[in-house]
Homo-oligomer: A and B are copies of this chain.
Amino acid sequence: MSELTHLDADGRARMVDVGGKPITRRVAIAEGRLDTTAEVVELVRSDSLKKADVLPTARIAGISGAKRTSELIPLCHIVPLDSVAIDFDFDEAAVTIRATATTTGRTGVEMEALTAVAVAGLTLHDMVKAVDPAASLGGIRLVEKRGGKRGVWRADA
Contacts and interface: CB of A to CB of B under 8 A. Distances in A.
- Copies of this protein chain in the complex: 6
Contact of A19 (B3, B7, B67, B102): B102
Main secondary structure of the interface of A (DSSP, over half): mixed
Contact of A51 (B17, B51, B78, B141): B51
A76 B123 CA distance: 9
Interface in A76-126: 76-87, 102-106, 110-111, 114-115, 118-119, 121-123, 125-126
A35 to B, nearest CB: 9
A118 B141 contact: no
Given A46-B1, A51-B48, A137-B140, A63 B13 contact: yes
Interface string A49-82: 1111110110111011101101111111111111
A110 to B, nearest CB: 6
Given A43-B3, A51-B48, A56-B53, A142 B134 contact: yes
A45 to B, nearest CB: 11
A108 to B, nearest CB: 9
Interface of A: 1, 3-8, 10-19, 25, 32, 43, 46-54, 56-57, 59-61, 63-65, 67-68, 70-87, 102-106, 110-111, 114-115, 118-119, 121-123, 125-131, 133-142, 145, 153, 155-156
9 contacts: A3-B131, A10-B51, A12-B85, A18-B83, A53-B59, A57-B60, A68-B72, A78-B80, A133-B153
